[in-house]
Every structure is written in C-alpha cells, then in structure tokens.
Structure 1
Amino acid sequence: MEVLLDNVIPENHPRMFTTNASEHKELIKIKQAIMALDGVESVEFMDVVFPKQFRVSVSKMIEVRFIEEAVNDVGFNAIPREYLSF
C-alpha cells in the first residue's frame, strides 16, 4: 500500500476523482454519500469538464476505497484522477 496513492491526506492535499454521474441530482447524491464519511470536510464538483470531476478534502487520512465504495453505493463510479491517463 502506498500512502499517497491509496489515501486522501488532510490539510492542503485534496484528492481529485472522476465520476460517470452527469446530472445535478446525481452529483448531490454523491456529495451526500461522501460527506457522510467520518473526516470528510468538503466535496467540490468541477462542472465545466467532461467527465465530471470532484475534489475531496479531509480532516484526517481516509482510504480512497472508502470514497469509491460510498459512490458505488449510490450507483455511480469514482476513479481517483491519478489513475487515469488521457
């Protein structure tokens, strides 16, 4: 396990994710699911890009898999941005 790749680190290290959700109501569901996780401070969506992206800031270290699972539970995908190559 690599600490930087497998976790969202607190303070000035937010993590970017890409999602397959596209409608506003879908993004709200994703935000609510992630905000329910202990230690999540904020979820910000980048609406001007495709596919949709969001940034997660935390107050304590959280494993990326917990964010992925929270988004999967509402029916969508969350892929850490560093894993994608265009």
Structure 2
Amino acid sequence: MSLLSNNIIPGNHGRVFGTDAKEDTDLEAIRKSILEIEGISEVAINNQVFPRELTIYSTKIINIQEVETKVKSVGFHAIPTDD
C-alpha cells in the first residue's frame, strides 16, 4: 500500500471507482454525497459501462476509505479500480 494506492491525488487525472448503483437517481445521490467531502472538486459519472464508474477529482489528498464510507452512507459501494 502506498500514497498513490490509498488516496485520491490532486490534479486533472482523477481516480476511478466502480459502483453497484445502476439508476441515474442513485448515481446522482452518490455524486452529491461525495461532493460533501472537503477537497473534492468534481465527480464525473460514466453510466455507459457496467459496473458504473465514478471519476473523482480533488484539490487535496483524500483517503479512499473516506469516499467508500460516504458512498456506503447512501446505500451503495464504491471500489477503486486498478487504473
């Protein structure tokens, strides 16, 4: 485990997460929940693939576990991809 694998690093690359949410309303609820985390600047949703993907951009280092906890509070899961 390293700084890169455990965190979302600031910049324009972002970090991709897979989610088990399928409906647009659920994906929007997840997006709003993640945006509540201080330092998250944008959450892009890719609903053209399965499982659905969220690309999260930040302005500071964010621990992945913080994002996973926020998504679980909405009733779904978010798992970082190996990208």
Structure-1-length-normalised TM-score: 0.92
Give 3-state SS (helix, strand or coil) of 1:65's partner. helix
Does 2:10 match 1:46?
no
Q: Deviations over 1:18-40 (max 9, x none)?
A: 00000011001100110000000
Structure-2-length-normalised TM-score: 0.95
Instruction: Structure 1: give runs of 5+ residues left out of the alignment.
Output: none
Instruction: Structure 2: give runs of 5+ residues left out of the alignment.
Output: none
Does 2:26 match 1:13?
no
Identity between Structure 1 and Structure 2 (%):
36
**CA–CA distance in structure 1, aligned partners of residues 53 and 12 of structure 2:** 18
**CA–CA distance in structure 2, aligned partners of residues 15 and 44 of structure 1:** 10
Alignment-mate amino acid for residue 54 of structure 2: F
